[in-house]
Structures are given as C-alpha cells and as structure tokens.
Amino acid sequence: MTTSTISSTKTYKIDKAHSEIVFQVRHLLTRVRGRFSEFDGTISYDEANPERSSVDVRIQAASVDTNEPDRDKHLRTGDFFDVEKFQTLTFKSTRVTKKGDERFDVDGDLTIHGVTRPVTLTATFLGKAKDPWGNERLGFEAETAINRKDFGLAWNAALETGGFLVGDEVKISVSVQALPPA
C-alpha cells in the first residue's frame, strides 16, 4: 500500500515595495546603517509543515545605499562589493527548522563578492492577511550577523589611535511581505 502526502506549499513573490533589506556595521565610533534598494525573490511556504519551506533571494549589489554618495561609490568598488564583477548577492535556503510557534532558523548559502558561506537567519512569521485587493500576503522578519572578511570584504584603514575604521561584524535585518505571483 502506498501513502501519498499532499504538499500545501505555496510560492510567494517578495513585494519589494513593502519589504526591506538593511545592514549595519561599526564605523569609527558609531554604527553606519545601509540598505539595498533592488532585490527580488521567492518564499515557498508550507504552513502545515514549515520545515518544507524555502527561500531564494537575489540582491543587486550596485543598489547599496548608506545615504552618503561618496561612501556608496566606494562600496561599489573592488575594495568592497566590486559590482562590475559581482553584480548580485544571493541567499538560498537549505533547511528550515521550527524553533517555536512562529520562530524558525533558516539555514542557507549566502553569496557575497563571489564567496558562498553557510549562514543561519533567525526568522519570525508575522502572519497572513488579505490586502484591500483580495491578495493573500505573508509577513516575515529575519536577522543574522556575518563577518564581512569571510566574504572577501577585507578593506580597512588603520586608525592612529589604534584599531580600524570599519568593524568586521555586519548585522543584517530583513523585513518581507510576500504575495502570490501575478
């Protein structure tokens, strides 16, 4: 006798207008915050079995924005993202593990500057709702921290008082609304 399992996985497209990908890194004494304005991706979500879910995101490296044009220009050079050579940053999940009612660890491969490393995002499912046009939407938030040097982003400047201008740890936060593809 064969048993079959019906999958309740639905694929949703990230709604860029209602989502954000932001980061922060220490610069001298304080933290500098930035974001990426151009990205897309999908979330395949199985509400009954979240462990069957997956995430696939592509970020355009040239869309980095720290609200300082000269710094953004430097971030696009070979010292950092080298956007001419490495146009996209990607995240592709490899496993989703339920950690609580609405909390999950999303393990996956993050590629920055042509270097791929495993990372874990701590994610929270914010819920499901219908927008005014009748579209079902999902909401998620996730965060992680990486060492930028692990991805070949090693540029820095020594300070005469000791230490370095730019910190190694980069905190990444993602807030996403997703809807079924049109």
Torsion of CA 28, 85, 63, 75, to 10 degrees: 10
Domain CATH number, residue 169: 2.40.128.110
| Any domain includes 2 | no
* Tens-place pLDDT, residues 86-101: 999 999 999 999 998 8
| Any domain includes 3 | no
Residue 44 pairs with which residues in a beta bridge? 11, 54
| Any domain includes 5 | no
What is the reported pLDDT for 7? Answer: 61
| Any domain includes 115 | yes
Domain count of the fold of the chain: 1
Least confident span in 13-22, 108-117, 157-166: 157-166
Residue 66 pairs with which residues in a beta bridge? none
Nearest-angstrom CA–CA distance, 42 and 181: 9
Coil, strand, or helix at residue 62? helix
| Any domain includes 127 | yes
CA proximity to 45, closest of 100, 93, 114: 93
Structural domain for 32, as ranges: 10-179
Residue 147 pLDDT grade (very low, low, confident, very high; cuts 50, 70, 90): very high
* Tens-place pLDDT, residues 34-61: 999 999 999 999 988 999 999 999 999 9
CA proximity to 106, closest of 116, 90, 88, 94: 94
| Any domain includes 1 | no
Nearest-angstrom CA–CA distance, 10 and 8: 6
What sign for the dihedral angle of Cα 113, 38, 17, 24? positive
| Any domain includes 37 | yes
